[in-house]
Structure 1
């Protein structure tokens, strides 16, 4: 669907976050004074009126009757495509689209590398853009990483690196290369089941002419084996990690120790980025030295520094238990107190509990709405380290200070979303930094946009 297809039709925008605002702006540019309705929360009404006084604003969650009054609804990504009201309106003829789908409709000939994955998609996307620019290629970095595609509508780039969440993979148009970094369970509240989450995530394979996937994930290999143009990273024949180096086959290319982003998973993200460049015909070997200049993304295993005798690491982006395990792996050999818990989406914490039973952290502080559930599972399993349960992040930091030895690490890696107590993971990460005693401004992701 293109923006021109909306002319003369009854159109609504559902959601007033950054994606919703970008959609309103794009529709105004292309459809002028066409009537436009916005569905938003009651708390957003005043801001929406200030943003666009001509909007018809409906506060609150729309039901099927309201939605079915429109020919097209432009939906923000966080609104589940499986809401009963949405499905009922769809059955009555209402079409649902998104900013992502509209951008692809407007840019059918753009050269696109799209990246998804349960973990690693943001860092991999940023790495691809960083390395591409190091080769002198005008590159756009946008999408779920923090810049809606519609904000770049009408701008030109030689390569578009687009991060897609599981909410967006089915909205992508045909593209040159799709990259899938990992596949675990997540966002079950949006998708409704693990199987539907996996199926939605893998919709990227349908859009991608060539598909690049992580060879170290058996389930991902099995689910993508029928793609006619599948490539792999993480194999000895291609880009992989071996003996402390990022390697291309038998050639040692870049020392892992020189990566500012710590951990094996980040070294694999670098392999994915290099393999992606190679897959679209770029000189990945020539780009590899630029890995040394890549700055880690905020809130992703971000070392805050030392303060009051402890080392502090902000991994607030961690929203799955497996992401927490990856964070702990990156700090292997150090005395780590890890802060876990947050909004309870019903994810399975058994892999985390099993890992802590075999190789426990120095201490574990459980917090948030699922903190009690995590604590109980750890105690029942007999995990042999101090385990505390507190209500909130401030209390968790206080407990961590009590139980962490001098020169140890206090790691925020919650393995859960922040919505029980914070607006988003970034707000949670900034609060952690403040509680740790750091008077710093954690900026946004570098390199967004076109450069």
Structure 2
């Protein structure tokens, strides 16, 4: 094995947007940087070669001996640190880091960190809208939008970051002003040896944090290490001082703070009870950051949500078609079914794809309670059908257009047809956006 080089010698593992941002940042500091990617023509390669021709880049595979010549590896989130070449370098003493770790070291404004199996993109985007409404110069990015190292140039008043478990794996201390784990359900079980390992990765968001926003409806949202943290809580039917909660009366369902009603959920433009939870989370985060509550309430009522996340597409012959293509794990689909069942007769669910090693058993209960039928697509269709155990009629389709056509025939007036796959999309589509767009096109073609 080669001998470890000086601590100014860094290997960026993985290109794409994150890898390029790492090269840009590190070369800007005067660091000597090399790049490795297992793909022959990774995205960003041409830009790298044009802008940084001096950077040594090796593609098409990982060479353990070469990796071991570096004492710092900055690993992109899509690459597991258990990769043999990375593990070999770590065994010889190399520091394994990610872009979030580099960012936390350099950031000179408060950080709001948001993670969770479901809802993190919606909550992160909404918190950004709340900040803007409050007149706060915020930079939003991380797992969505702009890579974090590119946000440093903006010099904002606050950073609002969506963070995945993959990003947190290589983050030693985020030192966030406000941090939250919205929820934890089975996801990425093809990468993690157990749900505990996945949970522990999520928990890293609380390292060095000042304030923790805790979802009282999910025990796994609570920080394991809590002695130095200030808690701000939210949850359904949990009315307590210093807690965002809900109360129902003759006027409908209210979001509350302490004992006081704040806003009637009928004034929200977001559909579903899971989005009421997302709004409570965003308000709790803003409150923890010290933002004015009255301004945040107005902004929350104006927020329309995100494409492909419980997005109404069209109503045809009394049947509402809803695009939840971003429901890429079982927990997201369970939440969508439970949240969207009120207000309709029954749901016809379109699900399936690459389950990433997940357990589909938790789908059985909400499907039996809320669904008229299920249409399955993709690689793991048979696994899902087995988990449902005949509780409702199940059809299988070879394409999204065929799935939508079958669902439309199965649905009755007053029903909802819901695309919420509980799976990743790459077995059939280029991404969840492509899957959702094909659903929308198929509905428009009915």
TM-score by length of 1: 0.88
CA contact (8 A) 1:254 1:289 kept: no
Q: How does 1:190-201 map to 2 (within 5 A)?
A: 190-201=191-202
CA distance in 1 between partners of 2:11 and 2:158 (Å): 31
Residues 393-419 of structure 1, C-alpha deviations (whole Å, 9 max, x = no match): 333223212212245322110011112
- 1:69 has 2:69 as partner: yes
CA distance in 2 between partners of 1:49 and 1:278 (Å): 44
Identify the match of residue 240 of structure 1 among 225, 238, 245: 245
- Give the deviation of 1:74 after TM superposition: 1.9
Aligned equivalent of 2:394: 387
Aligned equivalent of 1:396: 403
Q: Which moved more, 1:397-406 or 1:305-314?
A: 305-314
Is the alpha carbon distance of 1:158 and 1:370 closer, same or farther for their aligned partners in structure 2, counting shifts above 3 Å?
A: same
- Give the deviation of 1:308 after TM superposition: 7.1
Relative contact order (C-alpha < 8 Å, sep 6+): which is higher? 1
Is the alpha carbon distance of 1:346 and 1:250 closer, same or farther for their aligned partners in structure 2, counting shifts above 3 Å?
A: same
Structure 1 portions without partners, runs of 5+:
1-5, 440-451
Aligned equivalent of 2:103: 103
Q: How does 1:405-420 map to 2 (within 5 A)?
A: 405-406=412-413, 408-420=415-427
- 1:78 has 2:78 as partner: yes
Is the alpha carbon distance of 1:395 and 1:7 closer, same or farther for their aligned partners in structure 2, counting shifts above 3 Å?
A: farther
Aligned equivalent of 1:446: none
CA distance in 2 between partners of 1:182 and 1:26 (Å): 32
CA distance in 1 between partners of 2:269 and 2:445 (Å): 20
- Give the deviation of 1:85 after TM superposition: 2.9
Aligned equivalent of 1:445: none
Give the RMSD, CA atoms, in angstroms.
Answer: 2.4
Aligned residue for 2:145, secondary structure, equals coil
Residues 281-331 of structure 1, C-alpha deviations (whole Å, 9 max, x = no match): 222234212212112011111112235764221111112212112112232
CA distance in 2 between partners of 1:75 and 1:222 (Å): 26
- Give the deviation of 1:35 after TM superposition: 5.2
Is the alpha carbon distance of 1:113 and 1:222 closer, same or farther for their aligned partners in structure 2, counting shifts above 3 Å?
A: closer
CA contact (8 A) 1:138 1:157 kept: yes
Aligned equivalent of 1:211: 212
Is the alpha carbon distance of 1:130 and 1:369 closer, same or farther for their aligned partners in structure 2, counting shifts above 3 Å?
A: same
Aligned residue for 1:191, secondary structure, equals coil
CA contact (8 A) 1:264 1:330 kept: yes
CA distance in 2 between partners of 1:43 and 1:105 (Å): 31
Aligned equivalent of 1:447: none
Q: Which moved more, 1:394-403 or 1:241-250?
A: 394-403
Residues 173-227 of structure 1, C-alpha deviations (whole Å, 9 max, x = no match): 3121111211112112222221100111111122312211101113434846656
- 1:362 has 2:372 as partner: yes
Q: Which moved more, 1:209-218 or 1:83-92?
A: 83-92
Is the alpha carbon distance of 1:224 and 1:404 closer, same or farther for their aligned partners in structure 2, counting shifts above 3 Å?
A: farther
CA distance in 2 between partners of 1:310 and 1:427 (Å): 23
Identify the match of residue 263 of structure 2 among 208, 229, 254: 254
CA contact (8 A) 2:165 2:202 kept: yes
Aligned equivalent of 1:350: 361
Aligned residue for 1:175, secondary structure, equals coil
Structure 2 portions without partners, runs of 5+:
none
CA contact (8 A) 1:90 1:96 kept: yes
- Give the deviation of 1:429 after TM superposition: 1.4
Is the alpha carbon distance of 1:199 and 1:26 closer, same or farther for their aligned partners in structure 2, counting shifts above 3 Å?
A: same
Aligned equivalent of 1:374: 384
CA distance in 1 between partners of 2:354 and 2:225 (Å): 31
TM-score by length of 2: 0.89
CA distance in 1 between partners of 2:63 and 2:412 (Å): 54
- Give the deviation of 1:28 after TM superposition: 3.6
